[in-house]
A and B are shown apart, each in its own frame.
Chain A
Amino acid sequence: MNAAELPILSIMLAVPMLGAIACLFVRDEMARVLALGATLLNLVLGIWLWASYDPAGAQWQFVESAQLFGPIGWKLGIDGISLLLIMLSVFLMPICIGASWRSITERVGLYMASFLLMETLMIGVFAAQDLLLFYIMFEAGLIPMYLIIGIWGGKDRIYASYKFFLYTLLGSVFMLLAMLWMIQQAGTADIPTLLNHDFPAEAQTILWLAFFASFAVKMPMWPVHTWLPDAHVQAPTAGSVILAGVLLKMGGYGFLRFSLPMFPEASAQFIWLIFGLSMVAVVYTSLVALVQDDMKKLIAYSSVAHMAIVTVGLFTFNQQGIEGAIIVMLSHGLVSGALFLCVGVIYDRLHTREISRYGGLSINMPKYALFFMLFTMASVGLPGTSGFVGEFLSLAGAYKVSTWATLIATTGIILGAGYMLYLYRRIAFGEQVNADAAAMPDLDKRELWLLAPIAAAVLWMGVYPESFLAPIRRDVATIVDRIERAAPAGDSKLKENDKTTAKYRVHAHGGEHQNKAEGAAH
């Protein structure tokens, strides 16, 4: 049966919503089961959605439209990009619930309700086809996340929760004004229509900056990234997973859905800003990550560096770069989520995130060390893991636009290898200097069930990325077509007539680039 016969997106929004309301009124034990049930049901629905999605069909599928709220249209619909990000959300949610199964003992109902509400809002962000609906979903996520960080967070949770809320809010309000102006200018809030609306070039600049304010904070880009390490460090494990896994992707999704196709001229005009900030971010945050003593902080800074690769990839204006950026987003969602889970596993045992309190865990926790190794390698971008595919594609795309930016962004991979391997060495290898750390038991069944699916997905994406590239290829091509007219001239020139390089080039037909790139990934 095809999922399109039902209002599948509304159902996927409703399931966690109803679960959230129910969780508020039941006992702790029941709330856990209920939350897990609702998220698993949504995962099943998500898989069905993916199976029913036709990569060759209409650009927008599973479209729903209702006029319930006056000017705010209840318009839903997804393309391949949305599909994969929705999949990422529904895939990570049951894992988040599982990760909080034992570590959360206070106000469990409220906790589970917040997470389920987050799930609804995340799916809503990726499925919204109305500008105002998108904004509502985008902003509403602040409330549950504020509660998650503030109630169940660490020692400095209150500072972190305020910072998270106010930073993101300040970024977003300007986007709201820009949206209102766009709706008046274009006479519609329908996103597919707006995607083909040409705004005057001088207005684009302002609009682009307004959207940039919001997405740069969400992404987060240097120098507005400072809320992220605080929020990550203080949030409970599952909160960090969802924050790094999905919430950061909303920034990239926003650039891709709004900034690029709606304001192509302005995007081209500000390429220097994006590349400049990204280059600084890659180098600076990687160096900062090198000197962290706190595991979560280290991974948080590494997230900023990875997200900088995403922004570089997105603003390459070519198929490879954008596809790569999307794959980095998906891969980072899985890998950083998994790394936070790995931190959570040992944090639950020793209640400290200080790196020097651990050491030699590969002796007493071999299974844990194996998983941790896999995710470390994926984060570094080892071929065969998801990290490699995305980073390679986006850097290959970036090379066509700016060789210098590519050079500096690529150092991020080297530095990434530096801080991740250094972290791994200090935790898993070496002498077992701390007796209590040496006595920790290995992964139990529950933790194994949390990490194994992510490991499988990471390897799948690394070995056969075509499964993830196929749904987005056409949609990225649509965006590239749209923005091509503004594409900047690159500084890397192919020597078309040079005999020495001719034999390396694959000639011809559409889609040559990704074939070449994917070939490298296999």
Chain B
Amino acid sequence: MDLSTSLTLVRPELILSFSSLALLLIAAWRQDAGRLVSILSVAALVGAGVTSAQFLAAGTDATAFDGLYRADAFSSFAKILIYIAAAVALVIAPKALEKMGAMRAEYPVLVVLAAVGMGIMVSASDLLTLYIGLELNSLAAYVLASFARNDGRSAEAGLKYFVLGALASGILLFGMSLLYGFTGSTSFETIGQAMAGEIGTGLLFGLVFVLSGLAFKISAAPFHMWTPDVYEGAPTPVTAFFASAPKVAATALLIRVTIEAFGSQAQAWQQIVMVVALMSIVIGAVGAIGQQNLKRLLAYSSINNIGFLLIGLAAGTEQGISAMLVYLAIYVAMTLGGFICLMQLKGRDGEMKEGMADIAGLSKTQPLLAAAFAVFMFSLAGIPPLFGFWGKLVVFNAAIEAGMFPLAVIGIAASVIGAFYYLKVVKTMYFDEPADAVDASDDKVLSWSGGALALAVSPLGYLAIPALTAVTAQAAGALF
């Protein structure tokens, strides 16, 4: 395959890479150009998203660079989600970061670089590409976590994220080296072929280590410990970013590795995925109950949601994967919405509020904000008629179809435990007396984007089901 065809296929990454380099130059000379760079970055993300959408519409399914990189419907769908989430994270950030004195021009550049890494992750069809993408994303993310450099908590979050992330990367690399050693290749396809039939302990170890490393990246239990601390410490716009785009990328990567590389050994990883899924659901639900900090609560909520996502993977069927993609799309909308609501909690002195006590009686002082937050909470809990219910439904449907009844029953029973803490947030906002700790936010961008997302996860979202089903089916079909 010649270079020009390969370059056409990596167009989204090219657009983002070159724009990030150019924007870095602007940032180097104009330190105060944060907003300008943000706008240009969003434009670059939109451009890359449009390219991916073109690929998706054209049904592109090809490999580039001699099998290192794959452009198919699956990667295009995941990229669109990633770029949208990253763009939203950029749009909502400036005012909040300015308040912290952290709105520097590097912020959008780092987000774009992370998006490049994530794009490579979801397109990787070789362990090497996988690792490059993962590290590009992670390194940008470590810096982003500690972006509010005057804030001790933020620095701590960055350091923690870095140390634990490096550990996870080590585990992943170790697993990859085992896979390479026992199969003689780093390409997913060849590994898949080599794994057919009986596999030895060495390969099994490789598989377990790779899955553990990836479980860390998606913050699935029992590799979730970093999540609450990093989410709490990082500046809220950054947390919103962490909870959305990288989750999509890491999940998509996990799907591709398990299906394409380990597809022939489904029974070997299905048990692992099942246990991880149920542990995440339960730990995410139980851990959140006592939280007094809303960012930590949302962190546990993301662990909980990853558990539900993994139920689709445990099913291991095409329908399960398509259900995961539906869930991911809805999850991104819900979680971004939740964080946007959180960012609008502005204290009397203009500082950001994030405690459970601060939202007491919010429905009396700021009814619209409280209503939007309640919509996101009920939706995350999967209560119909909100759109989050549909995500849970398709995932459980896939598990039922695959005949995994115990998994479905335990998972859905545990979702009731999860409902408790979402209800607690609603209770605090609606049933308690106003704490009067929060002022009306003056950030119009946040109100509009939060309102739009609330409408998207409201019952109106059901109108998107036919389109969403078709696109995710196409994307999942590319893997099988």
| A contact residues around B393 at 8 Å (CB) | 132, 176, 180
Asked whether, in the complex, the Cβ of B400 is within 8 Å of the Cβ of A165, the reply is: no
Asked whether, in the complex, the Cβ of B412 is within 8 Å of the Cβ of A150, the reply is: no
Q: How far is the CA of A406 from the CA of B431 in the complex (A)?
A: 45
B interface secondary structure, majority: helix
| A contact residues around B426 at 8 Å (CB) | 146
A170 in contact with B423 given A136-B389, A151-B431, A184-B401 (CB within 8 Å): no
A173 in contact with B415 given A136-B389, A158-B427 (CB within 8 Å): yes
- Say whether B452 faces chain A, with CB atoms less than 8 Å apart: no
Chain A stretch 155-193: residues in CB contact (< 8 A) with chain B: 157-158, 161-162, 165-166, 169-170, 173-174, 176-177, 180-181, 184
**B353-369 vs A: 1/0 string, CB under 8 Å?**
00000000001100100
Asked whether, in the complex, the Cβ of B400 is within 8 Å of the Cβ of A177, the reply is: yes
Asked whether, in the complex, the Cβ of A177 is within 8 Å of the Cβ of B427, the reply is: no
Asked whether, in the complex, the Cβ of B401 is within 8 Å of the Cβ of A135, the reply is: no
Q: How far is the CB of B382 from chain A (nearest CB, A)?
A: 9
Asked whether, in the complex, the Cβ of A162 is within 8 Å of the Cβ of B465, the reply is: no
Asked whether, in the complex, the Cβ of B416 is within 8 Å of the Cβ of A177, the reply is: no
A166 in contact with B465 given A107-B364, A140-B385 (CB within 8 Å): no
Asked whether, in the complex, the Cβ of A165 is within 8 Å of the Cβ of B463, the reply is: no
A69 in contact with B383 given A136-B389, A151-B430, A157-B431 (CB within 8 Å): no
**B408-435 vs A: 1/0 string, CB under 8 Å?**
1100110110011001001100110000
- Say whether B397 faces chain A, with CB atoms less than 8 Å apart: yes
- Say whether B462 faces chain A, with CB atoms less than 8 Å apart: yes
Asked whether, in the complex, the Cβ of A158 is within 8 Å of the Cβ of B397, the reply is: no
| B contact residues around A110 at 8 Å (CB) | 363, 367
A139 in contact with B384 given A68-B462, A165-B423, A169-B419 (CB within 8 Å): yes
| A contact residues around B465 at 8 Å (CB) | 69-72
| B contact residues around A166 at 8 Å (CB) | 416, 419-420, 423
Asked whether, in the complex, the Cβ of B469 is within 8 Å of the Cβ of A70, the reply is: yes
| A contact residues around B469 at 8 Å (CB) | 70-71
| B contact residues around A162 at 8 Å (CB) | 420, 423, 427
Q: How far is the CA of A249 from the CA of B462 in the complex (A)?
A: 28
**B459-471 vs A: 1/0 string, CB under 8 Å?**
0001101100100
| B contact residues around A184 at 8 Å (CB) | 397, 400-401
| B contact residues around A136 at 8 Å (CB) | 384-385, 389
Q: How far is the CA of A511 from the CA of B415 in the complex (A)?
A: 48
- Say whether B376 faces chain A, with CB atoms less than 8 Å apart: no
| A contact residues around B413 at 8 Å (CB) | 170, 173-174
Asked whether, in the complex, the Cβ of B383 is within 8 Å of the Cβ of A176, the reply is: no
Asked whether, in the complex, the Cβ of A176 is within 8 Å of the Cβ of B396, the reply is: yes
| B contact residues around A107 at 8 Å (CB) | 363-364
- Say whether A195 faces chain B, with CB atoms less than 8 Å apart: no
- Say whether A143 faces chain B, with CB atoms less than 8 Å apart: yes
Closest residue of chain B to A140, judged by CB? B385
Asked whether, in the complex, the Cβ of B400 is within 8 Å of the Cβ of A69, the reply is: no
Closest residue of chain B to A74, judged by CB? B462
Determine the interface band of chain B, counting residues with CB < 8 A from chain A: 20 to 34
Closest residue of chain A to B468, judged by CB? A70
Closest residue of chain B to A121, judged by CB? B385
A174 in contact with B430 given A70-B465, A140-B385, A166-B416 (CB within 8 Å): no
Q: How far is the CA of A110 from the CA of B371 in the complex (A)?
A: 10
Asked whether, in the complex, the Cβ of B384 is within 8 Å of the Cβ of A177, the reply is: no
Asked whether, in the complex, the Cβ of B412 is within 8 Å of the Cβ of A177, the reply is: yes
Q: How far is the CA of A180 from the CA of B404 in the complex (A)?
A: 13
| A contact residues around B364 at 8 Å (CB) | 107
Asked whether, in the complex, the Cβ of A143 is within 8 Å of the Cβ of B400, the reply is: no
Chain A stretch 16-39: residues in CB contact (< 8 A) with chain B: none
A135 in contact with B419 given A71-B465, A147-B430 (CB within 8 Å): no
Q: How far is the CA of A140 from the CA of B423 in the complex (A)?
A: 14
Asked whether, in the complex, the Cβ of A158 is within 8 Å of the Cβ of B409, the reply is: no
| A contact residues around B367 at 8 Å (CB) | 110
| B contact residues around A277 at 8 Å (CB) | none
Q: How far is the CA of A180 from the CA of B367 in the complex (A)?
A: 37
- Say whether A363 faces chain B, with CB atoms less than 8 Å apart: no
Asked whether, in the complex, the Cβ of B423 is within 8 Å of the Cβ of A146, the reply is: yes
**B369-413 vs A: 1/0 string, CB under 8 Å?**
000000000100001110001000100110011000100110011
Q: How far is the CB of B114 from chain A (nearest CB, A)?
A: 33
Asked whether, in the complex, the Cβ of B384 is within 8 Å of the Cβ of A135, the reply is: yes
- Say whether A477 faces chain B, with CB atoms less than 8 Å apart: no
**B438-480 vs A: 1/0 string, CB under 8 Å?**
0000000000000000000000001101100100000000000
- Say whether A457 faces chain B, with CB atoms less than 8 Å apart: no
| B contact residues around A70 at 8 Å (CB) | 465-466, 469
Chain A stretch 107-150: residues in CB contact (< 8 A) with chain B: 107, 110, 132, 135-137, 139-140, 142-143, 146-147, 150
Q: How far is the CB of B413 from chain A (nearest CB, A)?
A: 7
Q: How far is the CA of A166 from the CA of B415 in the complex (A)?
A: 10
| A contact residues around B409 at 8 Å (CB) | 174, 177
Q: How far is the CB of B404 from chain A (nearest CB, A)?
A: 11
Chain B stretch 308-334: residues in CB contact (< 8 A) with chain A: none
Q: How far is the CB of B430 from chain A (nearest CB, A)?
A: 6
Asked whether, in the complex, the Cβ of B462 is within 8 Å of the Cβ of A142, the reply is: no
| B contact residues around A170 at 8 Å (CB) | 413, 416
A177 in contact with B466 given A166-B420, A184-B401 (CB within 8 Å): no
22 contacts between A and B (CB under 8 A): A69-B462, A69-B465, A70-B466, A71-B465, A72-B462, A110-B367, A136-B385, A139-B383, A140-B383, A142-B383, A143-B378, A146-B423, A150-B430, A165-B423, A169-B383, A170-B416, A174-B412, A174-B413, A176-B412, A177-B405, A177-B408, A184-B400
* Residue positions of B touching A, CB distance < 8 A: 363-364, 367, 378, 383-385, 389, 393, 396-397, 400-401, 405, 408-409, 412-413, 415-416, 419-420, 423, 426-427, 430-431, 462-463, 465-466, 469
* Residue positions of A touching B, CB distance < 8 A: 67-72, 107, 110, 132, 135-137, 139-140, 142-143, 146-147, 150-151, 157-158, 161-162, 165-166, 169-170, 173-174, 176-177, 180-181, 184
Known contacts A139-B389, A180-B400; can you find 10 more A-B pairs with CB under 8 A? A107-B364, A135-B384, A136-B389, A137-B385, A140-B383, A143-B383, A147-B430, A161-B427, A166-B423, A176-B412
